[in-house]
Amino acid sequence: MQISGINTAYNISLPAYRSKNMKVVPFDKTVSFSSRSNRSTAAKQQLQNTVSYLAVLGILIGGVFGLSTKLDDKKESEVTDFNNTSIVEKHEEEEIVSALDILSTNSEIKTEYDKIIQALDTYSEQLGEDALPLIKERVALLGDGKVDVMDVLKILWIESNGRIYDDDGELLKSVSDAYGAFQITKDTADYLNYYFGLEGSENELEVKDPYKNLDACIYNLRFLHDKRSADLENGEYLPTGVNIKNAVAWSYHDGAWATKITDYGQDYIEKYEKLSQLDEYPQVVDFILNS
């Protein structure tokens, strides 16, 4: 069974403006002669004691100088570490770039950002509520960790620029009978209901219901991720290569069982890839999703 392809019927892009210490104890050695020892013995003892004294003293002096050197080295090292840390911190501060900085200096990213914001604003307006919290909630609930909010927003712009209804207030419908903001066909919804066991439940997908239309998009992205991942694991060739996200986007348009990219499918991939440039800038993505 092939999920029907979903054609892009609407391409609207309007500008939008929404980032040890050591203590040395003095060595005190008293050299004395035994009253019972002769002079030679006393001299030998004195020499031995003196040698011992000097040896110990040398060790202590060497230790002190060595300690001093180590302390100097440690101090120098600490200063160097401190300076290096300061340099790193300063460097990191210079590298911190806000989303607004990026958007004001990168026109290409600003263009793709505007598309997402325009679609989200339009969708929210026509849905009658702030759509972003809703999308986040549904993706977390239905996406199984395989769908992210940004991908839903990309599909939203590509498919309808956020429109649920057309200029006459009627539910948006394409020439291939794909409905709503995410352009889902009845065949696609029916297959997803079967695949995910939603038939007859309160969660059964209905393409003409704006909320179920969103759910259908998420389920479809999840299904296509599983399908194309399995294809790769089974050694099947994908014209989009090993990039699962691109394969999913292509399949959203051309179908889950498509083996070749249509002209419309290629256009769809190119739009998706342009929007995916936003993913290279976490600051911008965070700005979109949490502002």
Residue 246, classed as helix, strand or coil, is helix
Q: Is 66 left (phi over 0), alpha (psi -120 to 50) or beta?
A: alpha
> Which amino acid is present at 53?
Y
DSSP letter, residue 171: B
Does the pLDDT at position 284 exceed 90? Answer: yes
pLDDT of 77-98, one tens digit each?
444 443 444 444 433 444 578 9
pLDDT of 25-35, one tens digit each?
333 333 333 33
Domain 106-290 has CATH 1.10.530: yes
Q: Is 222 left (phi over 0), alpha (psi -120 to 50) or beta?
A: alpha
**170: its two tokens:** 């009627």
Q: Hey, what long-range contacts does 141-147 have (CB within 8 A, 24 or more apart)?
A: 142/215, 142/218, 142/219, 142/222, 143/218, 143/221, 143/222, 144/222, 146/221, 146/222, 146/225, 146/226, 147/218, 147/221, 147/222, 147/225
- What pLDDT is recorded for position 95? 54
Domain residue ranges in the chain:
19-96, 106-290
pLDDT of 122-162, one tens digit each?
999 999 999 999 999 999 999 999 999 999 999 999 999 99
What Cα–Cα distance (Å) separates residue 69 from each residue in 72, 75, 76, 138, 243? Answer: 5, 10, 10, 65, 58
Q: What is the mean pLDDT of residues 258-282?
A: 97
Alpha helices, H only, the chain: 39-95, 99-105, 107-127, 131-142, 149-160, 186-195, 210-233, 244-254, 263-275, 282-290
Q: What is the mean pLDDT of residues 175-184?
A: 97
Q: Are 215 and 140 in contact (CB under 8 A)?
A: no
- Is the full-model pTM beyond 0.85? no
Nearby residues of 236 by Cβ (< 8 Å), 6 or more positions away: none
Q: What is the C-alpha separation between 112 and 275, in angstroms, rounded?
A: 5
